[in-house]
Structure 1
Amino acid sequence: MTSLMRTTRTRVALGALATTALLTLSACGGGDSDSASADKDASASPSTSESADADAPAGAEPDLEGIPDVVAEVNGEEVTKDEFVPIYESQYAQAAQQAQTTGQAPDEEALKKQTVDNLVDTELLAQEAESRGIEVSDEDVDAELADIAEQNQMGSADELLAAVVEQGVTEEQALEQVETQLMVEQLVEDEDGPLEPTDKELRALYAQVKQQAAQSGGGAAQQIPPFAQARAQLVEQATSQKVGEVAQTLVEGLREDADITINL
Protein backbone atom coordinates (compact mmCIF):
# COMPACT_ATOMS: atom_id res chain seq x y z
CA MET A 1 0.00 0.00 0.00
CA THR A 2 1.43 3.34 -1.04
CA SER A 3 0.26 6.33 0.97
CA LEU A 4 0.31 9.86 -0.36
CA MET A 5 2.68 11.88 1.81
CA ARG A 6 0.92 15.05 2.93
CA THR A 7 2.93 17.96 4.23
CA THR A 8 -0.01 20.33 4.64
CA ARG A 9 -3.30 19.90 6.44
CA THR A 10 -5.83 18.15 4.27
CA ARG A 11 -9.41 19.31 4.27
CA VAL A 12 -12.64 17.75 3.13
CA ALA A 13 -16.13 18.88 3.94
CA LEU A 14 -17.79 17.43 6.99
CA GLY A 15 -20.55 16.38 4.65
CA ALA A 16 -18.10 13.84 3.23
CA LEU A 17 -17.19 12.39 6.58
CA ALA A 18 -19.37 9.34 6.15
CA THR A 19 -16.30 7.39 5.14
CA THR A 20 -18.21 4.12 5.06
CA ALA A 21 -20.76 5.62 2.68
CA LEU A 22 -18.00 6.58 0.26
CA LEU A 23 -15.60 3.70 0.63
CA THR A 24 -17.85 0.80 1.58
CA LEU A 25 -18.92 -0.71 -1.68
CA SER A 26 -21.10 -3.52 -0.36
CA ALA A 27 -24.53 -2.90 1.13
CA CYS A 28 -24.12 -2.95 4.88
CA GLY A 29 -27.07 -0.76 5.94
CA GLY A 30 -27.35 1.06 9.25
CA GLY A 31 -24.00 2.61 10.12
CA ASP A 32 -23.27 4.60 7.07
CA SER A 33 -24.32 8.23 6.98
CA ASP A 34 -25.08 8.87 10.62
CA SER A 35 -21.70 10.45 11.17
CA ALA A 36 -22.70 13.10 8.70
CA SER A 37 -24.95 14.65 11.33
CA ALA A 38 -21.84 16.59 12.29
CA ASP A 39 -22.40 18.73 9.22
CA LYS A 40 -26.01 19.66 9.82
CA ASP A 41 -27.16 16.75 7.64
CA ALA A 42 -25.27 17.92 4.60
CA SER A 43 -25.87 14.67 2.79
CA ALA A 44 -29.65 15.13 2.89
CA SER A 45 -31.62 16.45 -0.05
CA PRO A 46 -30.74 20.09 -0.66
CA SER A 47 -33.36 22.78 -0.48
CA THR A 48 -34.86 24.13 -3.64
CA SER A 49 -36.02 27.62 -4.52
CA GLU A 50 -39.03 28.75 -6.51
CA SER A 51 -36.71 30.42 -9.00
CA ALA A 52 -34.74 27.25 -9.67
CA ASP A 53 -35.09 25.83 -13.16
CA ALA A 54 -37.13 22.67 -13.39
CA ASP A 55 -35.62 19.29 -14.18
CA ALA A 56 -31.82 19.42 -14.07
CA PRO A 57 -30.74 17.20 -16.97
CA ALA A 58 -28.56 14.20 -16.29
CA GLY A 59 -24.89 15.18 -16.51
CA ALA A 60 -25.65 18.86 -15.90
CA GLU A 61 -22.67 20.90 -14.82
CA PRO A 62 -22.69 23.34 -11.87
CA ASP A 63 -22.05 27.02 -12.39
CA LEU A 64 -18.51 27.73 -11.14
CA GLU A 65 -18.33 31.29 -12.42
CA GLY A 66 -17.50 33.90 -9.82
CA ILE A 67 -16.11 31.55 -7.19
CA PRO A 68 -13.15 33.41 -5.59
CA ASP A 69 -9.70 31.87 -5.20
CA VAL A 70 -10.22 32.02 -1.43
CA VAL A 71 -13.79 31.08 -0.54
CA ALA A 72 -13.35 31.53 3.21
CA GLU A 73 -10.85 32.37 5.93
CA VAL A 74 -10.93 30.67 9.32
CA ASN A 75 -8.73 32.17 12.01
CA GLY A 76 -6.29 33.23 9.30
CA GLU A 77 -6.34 29.88 7.44
CA GLU A 78 -7.55 30.02 3.86
CA VAL A 79 -10.13 27.68 2.39
CA THR A 80 -9.36 27.74 -1.32
CA LYS A 81 -11.33 27.40 -4.51
CA ASP A 82 -9.34 24.27 -5.34
CA GLU A 83 -10.63 22.67 -2.13
CA PHE A 84 -14.17 23.94 -2.60
CA VAL A 85 -14.81 22.98 -6.23
CA PRO A 86 -14.49 19.16 -6.15
CA ILE A 87 -16.68 18.92 -3.05
CA TYR A 88 -19.27 21.30 -4.48
CA GLU A 89 -19.29 19.38 -7.76
CA SER A 90 -19.89 16.15 -5.86
CA GLN A 91 -22.78 17.70 -3.90
CA TYR A 92 -24.24 19.12 -7.10
CA ALA A 93 -24.02 15.75 -8.87
CA GLN A 94 -25.96 14.12 -6.03
CA ALA A 95 -28.58 16.86 -6.10
CA ALA A 96 -28.89 16.65 -9.90
CA GLN A 97 -29.43 12.92 -9.65
CA GLN A 98 -32.17 13.46 -7.07
CA ALA A 99 -33.72 16.01 -9.41
CA GLN A 100 -34.48 13.25 -11.89
CA THR A 101 -37.09 11.90 -9.46
CA THR A 102 -38.20 15.11 -7.72
CA GLY A 103 -38.46 17.26 -10.83
CA GLN A 104 -36.78 20.15 -9.00
CA ALA A 105 -33.38 21.46 -10.03
CA PRO A 106 -30.64 21.89 -7.43
CA ASP A 107 -30.56 25.22 -5.61
CA GLU A 108 -26.95 26.11 -6.40
CA GLU A 109 -26.75 29.01 -3.99
CA ALA A 110 -27.92 26.82 -1.11
CA LEU A 111 -25.47 24.09 -2.13
CA LYS A 112 -22.59 26.57 -2.26
CA LYS A 113 -23.42 27.89 1.20
CA GLN A 114 -23.76 24.36 2.55
CA THR A 115 -20.40 23.36 1.08
CA VAL A 116 -18.47 26.35 2.37
CA ASP A 117 -20.07 26.07 5.81
CA ASN A 118 -19.02 22.44 6.03
CA LEU A 119 -15.48 23.29 4.96
CA VAL A 120 -15.33 25.97 7.64
CA ASP A 121 -16.55 23.49 10.26
CA THR A 122 -13.94 20.97 9.18
CA GLU A 123 -11.20 23.57 9.40
CA LEU A 124 -12.32 24.55 12.90
CA LEU A 125 -12.13 20.91 14.01
CA ALA A 126 -8.74 20.49 12.34
CA GLN A 127 -7.39 23.56 14.13
CA GLU A 128 -8.74 22.28 17.44
CA ALA A 129 -7.18 18.86 16.85
CA GLU A 130 -3.84 20.49 16.05
CA SER A 131 -3.99 22.60 19.21
CA ARG A 132 -4.46 19.38 21.21
CA GLY A 133 -1.55 17.66 19.52
CA ILE A 134 -3.77 15.19 17.65
CA GLU A 135 -2.14 13.86 14.49
CA VAL A 136 -3.15 11.22 11.97
CA SER A 137 -0.25 9.35 10.40
CA ASP A 138 -0.07 7.68 7.02
CA GLU A 139 0.09 4.39 8.93
CA ASP A 140 -3.23 5.23 10.59
CA VAL A 141 -4.81 5.89 7.20
CA ASP A 142 -3.37 2.68 5.74
CA ALA A 143 -4.72 0.65 8.66
CA GLU A 144 -8.20 2.15 8.28
CA LEU A 145 -8.21 1.48 4.55
CA ALA A 146 -7.15 -2.11 5.16
CA ASP A 147 -9.98 -2.50 7.65
CA ILE A 148 -12.54 -1.09 5.20
CA ALA A 149 -11.18 -3.36 2.46
CA GLU A 150 -11.62 -6.35 4.75
CA GLN A 151 -15.19 -5.32 5.54
CA ASN A 152 -15.84 -5.27 1.80
CA GLN A 153 -14.21 -8.66 1.33
CA MET A 154 -11.41 -7.17 -0.76
CA GLY A 155 -7.87 -8.44 -0.80
CA SER A 156 -6.11 -5.15 -0.10
CA ALA A 157 -6.46 -1.41 0.38
CA ASP A 158 -5.09 -0.89 -3.13
CA GLU A 159 -7.97 -2.97 -4.49
CA LEU A 160 -10.40 -0.85 -2.48
CA LEU A 161 -8.93 2.41 -3.78
CA ALA A 162 -9.07 1.12 -7.35
CA ALA A 163 -12.77 0.38 -6.90
CA VAL A 164 -13.34 3.83 -5.39
CA VAL A 165 -11.59 5.50 -8.33
CA GLU A 166 -13.96 3.66 -10.67
CA GLN A 167 -16.82 5.36 -8.81
CA GLY A 168 -15.42 8.78 -9.70
CA VAL A 169 -13.53 9.58 -6.48
CA THR A 170 -9.82 10.24 -6.83
CA GLU A 171 -7.35 8.32 -4.69
CA GLU A 172 -6.22 11.57 -3.07
CA GLN A 173 -9.80 12.50 -2.16
CA ALA A 174 -10.35 9.08 -0.62
CA LEU A 175 -7.17 9.31 1.44
CA GLU A 176 -8.02 12.82 2.59
CA GLN A 177 -11.50 11.74 3.56
CA VAL A 178 -10.21 8.85 5.65
CA GLU A 179 -7.61 11.11 7.26
CA THR A 180 -10.24 13.69 8.17
CA GLN A 181 -12.57 11.03 9.53
CA LEU A 182 -9.82 9.63 11.75
CA MET A 183 -8.89 13.12 12.92
CA VAL A 184 -12.47 13.85 13.97
CA GLU A 185 -12.79 10.49 15.72
CA GLN A 186 -9.59 11.09 17.71
CA LEU A 187 -10.74 14.60 18.59
CA VAL A 188 -14.13 13.32 19.76
CA GLU A 189 -12.47 10.62 21.86
CA ASP A 190 -10.18 13.22 23.41
CA GLU A 191 -13.20 15.42 24.14
CA ASP A 192 -15.72 12.84 25.34
CA GLY A 193 -13.91 9.62 26.16
CA PRO A 194 -13.78 6.20 24.45
CA LEU A 195 -16.05 5.71 21.46
CA GLU A 196 -16.86 2.07 22.20
CA PRO A 197 -20.58 1.92 23.04
CA THR A 198 -21.88 -0.15 25.95
CA ASP A 199 -24.07 -3.23 25.56
CA LYS A 200 -26.92 -1.24 27.08
CA GLU A 201 -26.57 1.44 24.39
CA LEU A 202 -26.37 -1.20 21.66
CA ARG A 203 -29.48 -2.99 22.87
CA ALA A 204 -31.36 0.31 23.01
CA LEU A 205 -30.30 1.05 19.44
CA TYR A 206 -31.28 -2.47 18.38
CA ALA A 207 -34.73 -2.01 19.89
CA GLN A 208 -35.06 1.29 18.04
CA VAL A 209 -34.10 -0.32 14.73
CA LYS A 210 -36.63 -3.12 15.26
CA GLN A 211 -39.36 -0.64 16.14
CA GLN A 212 -38.66 1.42 13.02
CA ALA A 213 -38.70 -1.73 10.91
CA ALA A 214 -42.02 -2.80 12.40
CA GLN A 215 -43.54 0.61 11.70
CA SER A 216 -42.36 0.53 8.09
CA GLY A 217 -44.26 -2.70 7.49
CA GLY A 218 -43.74 -4.93 4.50
CA GLY A 219 -42.05 -7.65 6.50
CA ALA A 220 -39.04 -5.45 7.26
CA ALA A 221 -39.06 -6.47 10.93
CA GLN A 222 -38.59 -10.10 9.96
CA GLN A 223 -35.43 -9.15 8.05
CA ILE A 224 -33.66 -7.77 11.14
CA PRO A 225 -31.03 -10.31 12.22
CA PRO A 226 -30.64 -11.38 15.86
CA PHE A 227 -28.76 -8.99 18.14
CA ALA A 228 -25.60 -11.13 18.18
CA GLN A 229 -25.38 -11.11 14.39
CA ALA A 230 -26.13 -7.40 14.14
CA ARG A 231 -23.77 -6.35 16.94
CA ALA A 232 -20.84 -5.27 14.76
CA GLN A 233 -23.11 -3.15 12.60
CA LEU A 234 -24.77 -1.65 15.67
CA VAL A 235 -21.35 -0.73 17.09
CA GLU A 236 -20.54 1.07 13.86
CA GLN A 237 -23.82 2.95 13.82
CA ALA A 238 -23.68 3.92 17.51
CA THR A 239 -20.10 5.09 17.13
CA SER A 240 -20.97 7.18 14.08
CA GLN A 241 -23.84 8.80 15.93
CA LYS A 242 -21.64 9.70 18.87
CA VAL A 243 -18.95 11.14 16.62
CA GLY A 244 -21.54 13.26 14.84
CA GLU A 245 -23.15 14.56 18.02
CA VAL A 246 -19.91 15.43 19.82
CA ALA A 247 -18.33 16.95 16.71
CA GLN A 248 -21.39 19.15 16.14
CA THR A 249 -21.28 20.38 19.72
CA LEU A 250 -17.58 21.13 19.36
CA VAL A 251 -18.16 23.04 16.12
CA GLU A 252 -20.87 25.18 17.68
CA GLY A 253 -18.55 26.16 20.51
CA LEU A 254 -15.59 26.80 18.22
CA ARG A 255 -17.65 29.02 15.92
CA GLU A 256 -18.50 31.34 18.81
CA ASP A 257 -14.88 32.40 19.25
CA ALA A 258 -13.66 32.01 15.67
CA ASP A 259 -12.74 34.71 13.17
CA ILE A 260 -14.58 33.55 10.05
CA THR A 261 -14.89 35.35 6.72
CA ILE A 262 -16.98 33.90 3.90
CA ASN A 263 -16.14 35.29 0.44
CA LEU A 264 -18.85 33.60 -1.64
Structure 2
Amino acid sequence: MKKWIRQIGIVFAITTLLAGCGASDEEASNGENATEVPTTEGNVIATVNGEEITEQEFQEILSFVAMQSGIDIHDEEGQEVLTMMEDQLLDQLIDQMLLTQDAKEKGLEANDNEIAEQIDLIKEQSQVQSDEEFHEMLAQQNVTIAELEEQYRQTLTFDNYMESIRADIAVTEDEVESFHDELVTQYGEEALEQDEINYEEELIKQKVNNELTAIITDLRESSEIIIH
Protein backbone atom coordinates (compact mmCIF):
# COMPACT_ATOMS: atom_id res chain seq x y z
CA MET A 1 0.00 0.00 0.00
CA LYS A 2 1.58 3.25 -1.08
CA LYS A 3 1.86 6.25 1.22
CA TRP A 4 -0.73 8.18 -0.80
CA ILE A 5 -3.43 5.62 0.00
CA ARG A 6 -2.89 6.26 3.70
CA GLN A 7 -3.58 9.95 3.16
CA ILE A 8 -6.77 9.69 1.12
CA GLY A 9 -9.19 9.10 3.99
CA ILE A 10 -7.87 12.11 5.89
CA VAL A 11 -7.93 14.31 2.80
CA PHE A 12 -11.57 13.39 2.17
CA ALA A 13 -12.41 14.04 5.82
CA ILE A 14 -10.86 17.50 5.73
CA THR A 15 -12.57 18.24 2.42
CA THR A 16 -15.96 17.35 3.91
CA LEU A 17 -15.40 19.27 7.12
CA LEU A 18 -14.20 22.42 5.41
CA ALA A 19 -16.73 22.47 2.57
CA GLY A 20 -18.21 25.93 2.47
CA CYS A 21 -16.50 27.19 5.62
CA GLY A 22 -12.80 27.48 4.80
CA ALA A 23 -10.65 30.10 3.15
CA SER A 24 -10.83 30.60 -0.58
CA ASP A 25 -8.45 28.61 -2.79
CA GLU A 26 -6.47 31.78 -3.44
CA GLU A 27 -6.15 32.54 0.26
CA ALA A 28 -5.13 28.97 1.05
CA SER A 29 -2.57 28.78 -1.74
CA ASN A 30 -1.04 32.15 -1.02
CA GLY A 31 -0.75 32.21 2.76
CA GLU A 32 1.95 34.29 4.41
CA ASN A 33 4.33 31.35 4.73
CA ALA A 34 3.54 29.61 1.41
CA THR A 35 6.51 30.35 -0.80
CA GLU A 36 6.75 29.40 -4.46
CA VAL A 37 10.27 28.49 -5.53
CA PRO A 38 11.70 26.73 -8.60
CA THR A 39 11.72 22.95 -8.31
CA THR A 40 15.20 21.89 -7.24
CA GLU A 41 14.49 18.54 -5.62
CA GLY A 42 13.37 16.40 -8.55
CA ASN A 43 9.85 15.16 -8.00
CA VAL A 44 9.19 17.04 -4.73
CA ILE A 45 6.37 19.52 -5.37
CA ALA A 46 5.96 20.90 -1.83
CA THR A 47 7.48 20.73 1.62
CA VAL A 48 5.63 21.41 4.87
CA ASN A 49 7.95 22.09 7.79
CA GLY A 50 10.51 19.95 6.00
CA GLU A 51 8.10 17.08 5.20
CA GLU A 52 7.81 16.36 1.50
CA ILE A 53 4.92 15.86 -0.92
CA THR A 54 6.15 14.24 -4.13
CA GLU A 55 4.80 14.57 -7.65
CA GLN A 56 4.17 10.82 -7.79
CA GLU A 57 2.10 10.81 -4.59
CA PHE A 58 0.16 13.86 -5.74
CA GLN A 59 -0.65 12.46 -9.18
CA GLU A 60 -1.76 9.13 -7.73
CA ILE A 61 -4.10 10.85 -5.28
CA LEU A 62 -5.41 13.07 -8.08
CA SER A 63 -6.12 10.03 -10.25
CA PHE A 64 -7.87 8.29 -7.35
CA VAL A 65 -10.06 11.34 -6.65
CA ALA A 66 -10.88 11.56 -10.36
CA MET A 67 -11.90 7.91 -10.41
CA GLN A 68 -14.11 8.31 -7.33
CA SER A 69 -15.70 11.41 -8.89
CA GLY A 70 -16.43 9.66 -12.19
CA ILE A 71 -14.08 11.91 -14.15
CA ASP A 72 -12.75 10.46 -17.41
CA ILE A 73 -9.07 11.39 -17.33
CA HIS A 74 -8.62 10.29 -20.95
CA ASP A 75 -10.72 12.97 -22.60
CA GLU A 76 -10.08 16.70 -22.95
CA GLU A 77 -12.89 17.76 -20.66
CA GLY A 78 -11.69 15.41 -17.93
CA GLN A 79 -8.17 16.79 -18.17
CA GLU A 80 -9.52 20.33 -17.82
CA VAL A 81 -11.38 19.33 -14.66
CA LEU A 82 -8.24 17.70 -13.25
CA THR A 83 -6.26 20.87 -13.90
CA MET A 84 -8.83 22.89 -11.97
CA MET A 85 -8.69 20.38 -9.10
CA GLU A 86 -4.92 20.40 -8.71
CA ASP A 87 -4.48 23.54 -6.60
CA GLN A 88 -7.36 22.64 -4.29
CA LEU A 89 -6.08 19.10 -3.80
CA LEU A 90 -2.56 20.29 -3.03
CA ASP A 91 -4.00 22.70 -0.45
CA GLN A 92 -5.88 19.82 1.15
CA LEU A 93 -2.75 17.66 1.28
CA ILE A 94 -0.84 20.51 2.92
CA ASP A 95 -3.67 20.99 5.45
CA GLN A 96 -3.65 17.27 6.22
CA MET A 97 0.08 17.33 6.78
CA LEU A 98 -0.15 20.37 9.05
CA LEU A 99 -2.89 18.78 11.16
CA THR A 100 -1.01 15.49 11.44
CA GLN A 101 2.12 17.31 12.56
CA ASP A 102 0.11 19.33 15.09
CA ALA A 103 -1.60 16.18 16.39
CA LYS A 104 1.78 14.57 17.06
CA GLU A 105 3.03 17.67 18.86
CA LYS A 106 -0.08 17.60 21.07
CA GLY A 107 0.36 13.93 21.92
CA LEU A 108 -2.72 12.82 19.96
CA GLU A 109 -1.00 10.31 17.70
CA ALA A 110 -2.76 6.94 17.78
CA ASN A 111 -1.06 4.41 20.04
CA ASP A 112 -0.29 0.76 19.37
CA ASN A 113 -3.32 -0.46 21.35
CA GLU A 114 -5.75 1.62 19.26
CA ILE A 115 -4.18 0.30 16.07
CA ALA A 116 -4.22 -3.30 17.31
CA GLU A 117 -7.95 -3.00 18.10
CA GLN A 118 -8.65 -1.93 14.51
CA ILE A 119 -6.54 -4.77 13.10
CA ASP A 120 -8.40 -7.26 15.30
CA LEU A 121 -11.70 -5.83 14.07
CA ILE A 122 -10.65 -6.36 10.46
CA LYS A 123 -9.65 -9.93 11.24
CA GLU A 124 -13.05 -10.54 12.83
CA GLN A 125 -14.93 -9.01 9.91
CA SER A 126 -12.81 -10.95 7.41
CA GLN A 127 -13.51 -14.19 9.31
CA VAL A 128 -9.91 -15.36 8.98
CA GLN A 129 -8.90 -18.32 11.12
CA SER A 130 -5.27 -17.37 11.81
CA ASP A 131 -2.69 -14.60 11.52
CA GLU A 132 -1.11 -16.50 8.65
CA GLU A 133 -4.40 -16.52 6.75
CA PHE A 134 -4.81 -12.81 7.46
CA HIS A 135 -1.34 -12.03 6.10
CA GLU A 136 -2.09 -14.08 3.00
CA MET A 137 -5.30 -12.09 2.47
CA LEU A 138 -3.35 -8.83 2.72
CA ALA A 139 -0.68 -10.13 0.35
CA GLN A 140 -3.35 -10.76 -2.29
CA GLN A 141 -4.08 -7.02 -2.11
CA ASN A 142 -0.36 -6.19 -2.21
CA VAL A 143 -0.49 -4.85 1.35
CA THR A 144 1.76 -5.72 4.30
CA ILE A 145 0.68 -5.72 7.92
CA ALA A 146 3.09 -2.84 8.59
CA GLU A 147 1.45 -0.76 5.86
CA LEU A 148 -2.02 -1.52 7.20
CA GLU A 149 -0.93 -0.50 10.70
CA GLU A 150 0.48 2.76 9.35
CA GLN A 151 -2.80 3.45 7.52
CA TYR A 152 -4.69 3.14 10.79
CA ARG A 153 -2.10 5.22 12.65
CA GLN A 154 -2.81 8.06 10.21
CA THR A 155 -6.60 7.84 10.25
CA LEU A 156 -6.93 7.22 14.00
CA THR A 157 -4.59 10.12 14.73
CA PHE A 158 -6.89 12.39 12.75
CA ASP A 159 -9.91 10.95 14.60
CA ASN A 160 -8.21 11.70 17.93
CA TYR A 161 -7.47 15.23 16.76
CA MET A 162 -11.09 15.85 15.78
CA GLU A 163 -12.34 14.40 19.06
CA SER A 164 -10.05 16.77 20.98
CA ILE A 165 -11.59 19.72 19.15
CA ARG A 166 -15.12 18.47 19.68
CA ALA A 167 -14.50 17.93 23.41
CA ASP A 168 -14.06 21.69 23.86
CA ILE A 169 -17.23 22.58 21.95
CA ALA A 170 -20.45 23.31 23.83
CA VAL A 171 -23.75 24.82 22.75
CA THR A 172 -26.50 26.47 24.76
CA GLU A 173 -30.25 26.11 24.36
CA ASP A 174 -30.42 29.69 23.13
CA GLU A 175 -27.82 28.94 20.42
CA VAL A 176 -29.74 25.85 19.31
CA GLU A 177 -32.98 27.84 19.15
CA SER A 178 -31.34 30.63 17.13
CA PHE A 179 -29.80 28.05 14.79
CA HIS A 180 -33.22 26.45 14.29
CA ASP A 181 -34.78 29.83 13.52
CA GLU A 182 -32.06 30.57 10.94
CA LEU A 183 -32.74 27.29 9.16
CA VAL A 184 -36.47 27.88 9.21
CA THR A 185 -35.90 31.25 7.55
CA GLN A 186 -33.75 29.63 4.86
CA TYR A 187 -35.68 26.42 4.15
CA GLY A 188 -39.08 26.61 5.82
CA GLU A 189 -40.48 24.67 8.76
CA GLU A 190 -42.02 21.90 6.65
CA ALA A 191 -38.75 21.04 4.91
CA LEU A 192 -36.92 20.84 8.23
CA GLU A 193 -39.54 18.54 9.73
CA GLN A 194 -39.14 16.14 6.80
CA ASP A 195 -35.35 16.01 7.29
CA GLU A 196 -35.62 15.28 11.03
CA ILE A 197 -32.58 17.41 11.84
CA ASN A 198 -30.74 17.13 15.15
CA TYR A 199 -30.15 20.86 15.61
CA GLU A 200 -27.75 20.52 18.52
CA GLU A 201 -25.58 18.03 16.64
CA GLU A 202 -25.58 20.13 13.47
CA LEU A 203 -24.61 23.24 15.42
CA ILE A 204 -21.76 21.38 17.10
CA LYS A 205 -20.52 20.22 13.68
CA GLN A 206 -20.63 23.80 12.45
CA LYS A 207 -18.59 24.99 15.43
CA VAL A 208 -16.08 22.17 14.94
CA ASN A 209 -15.73 23.17 11.28
CA ASN A 210 -15.13 26.80 12.25
CA GLU A 211 -12.55 25.81 14.84
CA LEU A 212 -10.74 23.51 12.40
CA THR A 213 -10.63 26.29 9.82
CA ALA A 214 -9.13 28.67 12.40
CA ILE A 215 -6.54 26.08 13.44
CA ILE A 216 -5.46 25.48 9.84
CA THR A 217 -5.18 29.23 9.27
CA ASP A 218 -2.94 29.59 12.35
CA LEU A 219 -0.83 26.57 11.36
CA ARG A 220 -0.30 27.95 7.86
CA GLU A 221 0.83 31.30 9.28
CA SER A 222 3.31 29.70 11.69
CA SER A 223 4.67 26.99 9.36
CA GLU A 224 7.21 26.87 6.59
CA ILE A 225 5.35 25.84 3.45
CA ILE A 226 7.32 25.75 0.22
CA ILE A 227 5.53 25.04 -3.06
CA HIS A 228 8.02 24.03 -5.74
TM bin, normalised by shorter chain, reads: 0.5 to 0.7
CA distance in 1, matches of 2:185, 2:113: 40
Q: 1:158 to 1:87 in 2, by over 3 A?
A: farther
Give the structure 2 partner of residue 209 of structure 1: 183
Q: Which amino acid aligns with 1:195?
A: I
Q: 1:183 to 1:209 in 2, by over 3 A?
A: same
Structure holding more helix per residue:
2
CA distance in 1, matches of 2:51, 2:14: 24
Which stretches in structure 1 are left out of the alignment for 5+ residues?
A: 5-9, 20-32, 43-67, 99-103, 145-156, 160-169
CA distance in 2, matches of 1:86, 1:202: 42
Shift of 1:71: 2.9
TM-score, normalised by the number of residues in structure 2 = 0.57
TM-score, normalised by the number of residues in structure 1 = 0.51
- Residue of structure 1 aligned with 2:171, choices 197, 203, 212: 197
Give the structure 2 partner of residue 24 of structure 1: none
Root-mean-square deviation (CA), in Å? Answer: 4.5
Q: Which has the higher contact order (CA 8 A, sep 6+)?
A: 2
Contact 1:202 1:238 in 2 (8 A): yes
Contact 1:38 1:244 in 2 (8 A): yes
CA distance in 2, matches of 1:205, 1:94: 34
Contact 2:48 2:225 in 1 (8 A): yes
Give the structure 2 partner of residue 16 of structure 1: 12
Shift of 1:113: 1.3
- Which is greater in Rg? 2
The one-character-per-residue Cα deviations of 1:202-260 (angstroms, maximum 9, x if unpaired) are 33333333333229xxx6245143xxxx43x741x323322221122122122223221
Identity of aligned residues (%): 23
Matches within 5 A, 1:4-153: 11-12=7-8, 15-17=11-13, 33-37=16-20, 40=23, 69-81=43-55, 83-93=57-67, 96=70, 105=78, 106-137=80-111
CA distance in 2, matches of 1:176, 1:91: 22
Shift of 1:97: 5.1
The one-character-per-residue Cα deviations of 1:30-83 (angstroms, maximum 9, x if unpaired) are xxx4454566588xxxxxxxxxxxxxxxxxxxxxxxxx6433211111123454
**Could you say what secondary structure the match of 2:93 adopts?**
helix
Which stretches in structure 2 are left out of the alignment for 5+ residues?
A: 26-41, 119-123, 127-142
Give the structure 1 partner of residue 208 of structure 2: 243
CA distance in 2, matches of 1:206, 1:34: 20
